[in-house]
Structure formats: structure tokens, C-alpha cells
Amino acid sequence: MSRLTVPKTYKLYIGGKFPRSESGRTYEVTTPAGEFVANAALASRKDARDAVVAARAAVSGWAGATAYNRGQVIYRIAELLEGRRAQFIDEISRTEGVTAAAASAQVDAAIDVWVWYAGWADKYAQVVGNGNPVSGPYFNLSVPEPTGVVGAIAPQARVGTSLLGLAAVVAPIIVSGNTVVVVPSQSAPLSAISLAEVLATSDVPGGVINVLTGSPAEMAPWLASHADVNALDLAGAGDIDWVELQLSAAETLKRVLTPVNGVPAPALERITAFTETKTVWHTKSMR
């Protein structure tokens, strides 16, 4: 006797909570063959603005946490993902239309990306910062700091990116202490929302990662023009008018990473793209 299943309602993830879109809109998530899988929330401009407010509110706590603590919190994401492999493999294979083996490989890669970046939390500043031998009696040190709130478009390719692409974009943004508003894969957003459920039960403070399912073409302009967003990661914006986004971002002099093909490879440069070098001079004196 077959049991009637209980399908999940997939919602947004903003400020540590799971609201529906304030617009009340949803869209159909299907298999590549077009079969219905689930409805996902179709985020609106208002949702984006709410997410930026949540992200801004979370910056001081997250950036102010010790690097060791951020590293552990991010590592914990990997641990929890490992424990829920089956769910992610199922969602990826249904929405991307790939084999369980391919979906499993993607989960592996996503977990390893989180682990890789977790380890950078208390090291990147040592690698890219420096003491400066200035000509005078000054203690002078340059250290990188998070830039603030980052808007991100995760990779959108139909295959091989829905969970991995999200990790490859979000992890380097948050490891230094930034918070993020991310638009995940539009075609395969289920694993992103399930990841949000992992985040909600991990130690990532609410508002550090905000997930807006829906249309990158609709959401990205709101993030690009928002005066309280400091930077944009357009990794997955290759198929939309990203030059227009860059033009819009120029109005508030946002830092912008331009689109990449596929999933961005793990790289220190993705961390430093969203950091600012702060140089502090302090007078040395015996008196």
C-alpha cells in the first residue's frame, strides 16, 4: 500500500526566518522534462529590500565575531550538509535531471567548498595583510576587512550548479564577515531552500545569508541600485544584462565581480574581492 507523501512548501529565507514572498507570487519548479516538482516563492523588490535590511543588521555581529568562530560556524554548515546528503541528492537529481551519482558528486563538491573556505577565515588576513615599514616612528599595519552587504547572483546553469554554485558564491563572501543576499539557481532552487534550513539550524546568525528564490533578471537590478549594498557578485548573471547592472552599481561605487562560466573555482581572490584594506598608523613614543 503506497503512502501519500507530504510535499514541502519552499519559501524565502530572510533574516533567519522563512517568509513567503510579500507579493504572494510563486513559480513552478520543474524537471528539465517539464514535470512539476514544487512551487517556489517568486521574490519581489520588497523582499529584496527586506533582505538587505536583514543583511545590514547582521553585519556588525558577524564581522565582529572572531575569525576562529566564523571558521567553525562555516565548517558546521559542511557538517550538517553531510548529514542530509540524501535530501540534497534527491532535490538536485529531480530539478537538474541528473543521475544520483552526479548529484552526489555535486553535494561532495559543495561540502568540500564550504570546508575549504571555512579554513580561510583565520588565515586570509595573514596572507593579504601586512605590516608596513614606513619612514617614521609609526606602527603601521594593513589588514583586510569585510566590505559589508553583498548582493549575489548564484550560477544559473541548469546542470551541476544548484547547490555547488551557491556554496562557491556564498562561502567566500561570508567568510571574511560580510553578509549576503543571494538569488540561487532559478531553475533548480530547491536545494538552496533546503540549504537555508540547514543554515537556520546551524550557528549561522539570522541575516548573514538571505536567500531569494525567483528571477535573477528581476531581482538583480534592485540589488545593484540599492544604496545599502556594498558589493555585487554577478557570477551567475552571464545570461542577463549584467553590463546594465554594473552601470547601476557604479552610482554607489559598488565593488563588482563580473559573470563567470559555470561554477567559480575556489579562490582566495573571491574572498578578497569583497574586502577592504584598512591601514592604521599609530605614533610610537617613549613619552
The nearest distance, CB 207 to another protein, in angstroms, is 19
Closer by beta carbon to another protein, 9 or else 279: 279
Q: DSSP string of the chain?
A: -PPPP-PPPB--BBTTB-PPPTT--EEEEE-TT--EEEEEE---HHHHHHHHHHHHHHHHHHHHS-HHHHHHHHHHHHHHHHHTHHHHHHHHHHHH---HHHHHHHHHHHHHHHHHHHTTTTTHHHHH-EE---SSSEEEEEEEEE-SEEEEE----SSS-TTHHHHHHHHHHHHTT-EEEEE--SSS-HHHHHHHHHHHTTTPPTTSEEE--S-HHHHHHHHHH-TT--EEE-TT-TTS-HHHHHHHHHTTT-EEEPP-SSSPPP-HHHHHTTEEEEEEEEE----
Closer by beta carbon to another protein, 160 or else 214: 160
The nearest distance, CB 159 to another protein, in angstroms, is 5
Closer by beta carbon to another protein, 9 or else 130: 130
The nearest distance, CB 50 to another protein, in angstroms, is 22
Closer by beta carbon to another protein, 26 or else 147: 147
The nearest distance, CB 106 to another protein, in angstroms, is 3
The nearest distance, CB 117 to another protein, in angstroms, is 11
The nearest distance, CB 230 to another protein, in angstroms, is 7
Closer by beta carbon to another protein, 78 or else 212: 78
The nearest distance, CB 23 to another protein, in angstroms, is 27
Closer by beta carbon to another protein, 22 or else 112: 112
Closer by beta carbon to another protein, 6 or else 33: 33
Residues 45, 212, 239, 242, CA torsion sign: positive
